[in-house]
Structure 1
């Protein structure tokens, strides 16, 4: 029934998925997952309560009715329509084509006894699309496709595969599990984040991929840092060095940059500054590897180097000028949301560090201006790292004795952190 109603709605899966999000942000669902629900490949009853409510409101049918097989006598016949070639590809014809393509894709992925190069190429494109989208989209927008892609990869890996195919599938599964570790971290669940990261490390070992190993150590360092386990964050960053040297990619920059801010959080200014210098110097030796080719969250770039340096220096007393210099350059580097390097989380962190530097110099109005774009972020973008960064501004204000003079800013911060992304009902 659901599939029939969607076909008759003159809307694409993408349009309906967007409409669900507008109706209720808790009903976030991907176009692909909506297609699976429509085809009966996923049980409607097992969907989240928000998704079930949105579907019932959209089609004015109960969940039981929506998942029943459609019979022609159940509905008034739709008005007669003539098939017209629409250059935009809109309407039910586009949905039918999308459904056919998805069925063909699923067959190609799972029906063959061994995984074909074409299937692996398609999976690689799926993983790359998710890696590119992750830094620029709310978690809820990428999570359904991410979970589905991991499920497909693990299903294939449970079968006997030729060595080359096994290597490629483990590589892609490692990235996907790493992305899910980042999701768990962003939703303030470090335990699940580390579990996914350990699974990803096992995949990287099976793939024999030093670039993936180095990237995953950077990811584990990131999770530990935001969980307040700074010594552990240093250990993960150090553990990835050998892999980064073998791979030659941008993880050789990310790892010392990660160590820098963990050292700074521990109060070790000398080690922190040395690690910043090491990260900056490492750029001259970078040879982009397979992780860098994925792009997005799988690579490290110059704007992130500036952001990490400002994040490290913001911990250190007497470094307000240097913090402001790096943070200002980082905010400028992240100014264009159309830039492929743009990432809303790192942009927000850069603004928070700029605010901390200006609090340290006593310019509270400038600090408020720096933090204003962050406080305007919608709830679904208030991920764990951003919440922590904004709280650091709060701490900087109170420790400097400016709480009375920055009442509006304090109130804005407290209102912002009251509803982080992980607090949204699902």
Structure 2
């Protein structure tokens, strides 16, 4: 809930009256077609920031029914008795008092349904599934600072439900959801450059997968452990985790059966083992014939499933390590970059798109195309701080390393300096 402090602006007062968190306001803002970060919204509400884009002004006015100039004006307590207009579903403007009553009623109903001593009902269980599914789908496409709070709250909810008395038929489902949220938080910890916390979350997620007796979830968590180890500079561990998950993936018949071998391929490539890399890539391609629709983890979508686009990126990333695979690496990197051009595609992910561009830059450096490499890495270097996750920063550093090893570092000094400037401000430095 928005804290009950004395608001600095009319906007802060209206947010407080709506009894919503800033992350909920941001989510509604996005649903209306706008783009804003929670940090920017907080700065506007606190009076620290007054500059807004035309799109932001239009969306704020639509949400709160007042011109932006009035919303950003200092709040005068005497205005407290005024009605707060907000946009209801379907576009009808309702009063703030009505919305506050409805929000309170919805929160009370949700709390009752989820915390009933007799255990969850089918409707409440579906609500929890929707909460987890929403975060899983949003994760690859939205900056982590926008969804981290919701992710942590969702994990807290699932763990609290597991700690209370539940019907036996719901325990397995809750452990499944606990494993998913734990896996997402493992990825979040990795994205923030904390592999220790990431592996800790992953171990708990695997425990939940065991309690849920879910082979696909076990395989997925092993894939996350392989990913974390790869970017942490531990390719042998990455290979080991990928291989540990292979047996579970075979029994699940889910897309993890593709993800694990292609993850193994990246780690073998980092170790310089071209034969093992090619063999793992071939196993990944062949695994598509074993994938069966209907796996409940795949149906979560987002980070919980592995599609063709990610396979192209992983293959390009793997082959970029190997000097003898220059032509194949170039082909895969082009396909991967093309695959991530459409940002409206369900599989689009800003991190994988950035990694694809980095792989293309590395292959162009190997071919002596420094201008082409600069063009390839340019979209990555333009990413805002809140999207400079750990894997993206490491990908940029690999491009820098390729430039150093190319023998033409002096010709690419400006590009190297751009990369150094980019990597100097990873997402960990983003103020939250």
TM-score range, shorter chain: 0.7 to 0.9
CA contact (8 A) 1:153 1:169 kept: yes
Q: CA deviation at 1:360?
A: 0.1
DSSP-derived class of the 1:240 partner? helix
Task: Tell me the residue number matched to 1:413.
Answer: 419
Q: Which of 371, 376, 381 in structure 2 is aligned with 1:375?
A: 381
CA contact (8 A) 2:117 2:165 kept: no
DSSP-derived class of the 1:318 partner? helix
DSSP-derived class of the 1:171 partner? helix
Task: Tell me the residue number matched to 1:282.
Answer: 287
Q: Which of 168, 173, 176 in structure 1 is aligned with 2:178?
A: 173
Separation of aligned partners in 1, 2:275 and 2:82: 76
Q: CA deviation at 1:11?
A: 10
Could you give the per-residue CA deviations for residues 200-252 of structure 1, whole angstroms, max 9, x where no partner exists? Answer: 00000000000100100001000000001100000000000110011000000
Separation of aligned partners in 1, 2:85 and 2:147: 34
Q: Which of 40, 46, 66 in structure 2 is aligned with 1:22?
A: 40
Task: Tell me the residue number matched to 1:213.
Answer: 218
CA contact (8 A) 1:150 1:177 kept: yes
Structure 1 residue runs of 5 or longer lacking an equivalent are: 28-56, 62-73
1:155-304 to 2 correspondence within 5 Å?
A: 155-288=160-293, 289-304=295-310
1:13-412 to 2 correspondence within 5 Å?
A: 14-15=24-25, 18=36, 20-22=38-40, 75-78=77-80, 81=83, 87-89=90-92, 92=96, 93-288=98-293, 289-412=295-418
CA contact (8 A) 1:320 1:358 kept: no
CA contact (8 A) 1:187 1:384 kept: yes
Specify which structure has the bigger relative contact order, considering alpha-carbon pairs within 8 angstroms and separated by 6 or more residues. 1
CA contact (8 A) 1:351 1:374 kept: yes
- TM-score normalized with structure 1 length: 0.84
DSSP-derived class of the 1:342 partner? coil
Q: 1:301 to 1:80 in 2, by over 3 A?
A: closer
Q: 1:264 to 1:82 in 2, by over 3 A?
A: closer
Q: 1:401 to 1:99 in 2, by over 3 A?
A: farther
Separation of aligned partners in 1, 2:229 and 2:352: 17
Separation of aligned partners in 2, 1:58 and 1:198: 46
CA contact (8 A) 2:37 2:146 kept: no
Q: How many residues align?
A: 385
CA contact (8 A) 1:7 1:96 kept: no
Separation of aligned partners in 1, 2:317 and 2:37: 38
After alignment, is 131-140 or 153-162 more displaced? 153-162
Q: CA deviation at 1:424?
A: 2.1
Could you give the per-residue CA deviations for residues 145-165 of structure 1, whole angstroms, max 9, x where no partner exists? Answer: 111111111111112322211
Separation of aligned partners in 2, 1:404 and 1:320: 23
Q: CA deviation at 1:107?
A: 2.1
Separation of aligned partners in 2, 1:260 and 1:83: 56
Separation of aligned partners in 2, 1:58 and 1:424: 24
Separation of aligned partners in 2, 1:155 and 1:341: 32
Q: CA deviation at 1:95?
A: 4.8
DSSP-derived class of the 2:411 partner? coil
Q: CA deviation at 1:390?
A: 0.5
Task: Tell me the residue number matched to 1:71.
Answer: none
Q: CA deviation at 1:112?
A: 3.2
Separation of aligned partners in 1, 2:236 and 2:86: 64
Separation of aligned partners in 2, 1:388 and 1:355: 14
Separation of aligned partners in 2, 1:210 and 1:375: 39
Q: 1:115 to 1:81 in 2, by over 3 A?
A: closer
Q: CA deviation at 1:21?
A: 2.2
CA contact (8 A) 2:269 2:318 kept: yes
Q: CA deviation at 1:257?
A: 0.3
DSSP-derived class of the 2:297 partner? helix
Task: Tell me the residue number matched to 2:53.
Answer: none
Q: CA deviation at 1:284?
A: 1.7
Q: 1:150 to 1:407 in 2, by over 3 A?
A: same
Separation of aligned partners in 2, 1:238 and 1:107: 44
Could you give the per-residue CA deviations for residues 267-315 of structure 1, whole angstroms, max 9, x where no partner exists? Answer: 1110001101110111122113111111110000000010010111011
